[in-house]
Amino acid sequence: GWGTALGIVRSLHSRGRLERAFACETRPYNQGSRLTAFELVEEGIPGTLICDSMAAALMQRQGVDAVVVGADRVAANGDTANKIGTYALGVIAKHHGVPFFVAAPTTTLDAATASGADIPIEERPSDELCCIDVGGGDRRRVAAEGIDSWNPAFDVTPCGLLAGIVTER
């Protein structure tokens, strides 16, 4: 099925309330480039793919009305864990006065986890960050041999950055 955040985008589009959706590439695994961009095109929603590092410039120069992201887990205090870079988007949105919403199914609400500090963060293999796919199952190293990498899959966005959490209810 479609992602929860895209459900909101799709609803806004069907009501004529969405001019364009901007999708971050979601490095290093490129879920935004591979999945979100595909979903926008399939739904006929006008969309633009941007590099993760372009979000601040986009909000500064072109203006953004709202940010909607997903969440893999929501702690009891409202902190949310999602793909790496979500926290940075929240900080950028707050700086630019852009409402920042998390869309998450109720199955991600975790009353047993007090705050985001209690959410374990998965560390991904170095080659996901240091190498690129070149086709045919082959990968090419783009980072210098010997460089260390830090590659967490998720980050935690403090609840104070959120305008709200939207669920299916």
Which residues are known to be catalytic? 72
Task: Output the CA–CA distances (angstroms, integers) from residue 53 to 2, 27, 106, 163, in the order listed.
Answer: 25, 10, 30, 22
Query: How many Cβ atoms are within 10 Å of 19's Cβ, its own excluded?
Result: 9
As a whole number of angstroms, the distance between CA 165 and CA 162 comes to 7
CB 50 within 8 A of CB 85: no
As a whole number of angstroms, the distance between CA 132 and CA 46 comes to 28
**What residues contact residue 40 under an 8 Å CB cut-off, 6+ apart?**
6, 9, 21, 23, 46, 47
Question: Which residue, among 17, 96, 28, has the nearest Cα to 60 in the 3D structure?
Answer: 96
Query: How many Cβ atoms are within 10 Å of 126's Cβ, its own excluded?
Result: 14
